[in-house]
């Protein structure tokens, strides 16, 4: 079974990255949340994550439903995307690139 990774929603910066990448470019975020000692987490099972900054080697909690450990993960925007050098969305997350979401 795939590892469970928790994405911290309490940080405005991390939440913006989750919205842009996990719900946007990648689209493979699990539909589920859990309360943990570090706050509310969105759950992801995707490896490798092209937006990964770092993740903990030790679990920060466990799934209430399955008892599986959950590892805390932090995201970042790759430098190529920030500089405008990237011309298309990374496809490691999904089968095909998705256009970036825009807020209207």
The residues, ordered by sequence, that sit 6+ positions from 15 with a Cβ below 8 Å of its Cβ are 9
Q: How far apart are CA 29 and CA 44, in angstroms?
A: 5
For residue 88, the model assigns a pLDDT of: 38
For residue 5, the model assigns a pLDDT of: 92
Model's pTM, two decimal places?
A: 0.69
The residues, ordered by sequence, that sit 6+ positions from 45 with a Cβ below 8 Å of its Cβ are 2, 3, 4, 5, 28, 30
Residue in this structure with the two tokens 């099972």, named with its chain if needed: 45
**CA atoms within 13 A of residue 55's CA, in its CB half-sphere:** 21
Cis-peptide, bond into residue 48, ω within 30° of zero: yes
User: pLDDT tens, 54-98?
Assistant: 999 999 888 888 889 999 999 998 754 444 444 333 334 443 344
For residue 89, the model assigns a pLDDT of: 38
φ/ψ of residue 35, rounded to 5:
-85, 135
Residue in this structure with the two tokens 């920060």, named with its chain if needed: 60
């Amino acid at each position: 079974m795939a590892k469970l990774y928790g994405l911290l929603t309490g940080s405005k910066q991390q939440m913006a990255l989750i919205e842009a990448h996990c719900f946007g470019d990648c689209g493979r975020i699990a539909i589920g949340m859990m309360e943990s000692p570090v706050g509310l987490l969105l759950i992801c099972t995707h490896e490798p994550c092209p937006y990964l900054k770092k993740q903990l080697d030790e679990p920060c909690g466990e799934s209430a439903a399955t008892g599986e450990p959950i590892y805390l993960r932090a995201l970042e925007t790759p430098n190529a995307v920030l500089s405008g050098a990237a011309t298309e969305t990374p496809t490691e997350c999904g089968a095909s690139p998705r256009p970036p979401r825009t807020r209207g």
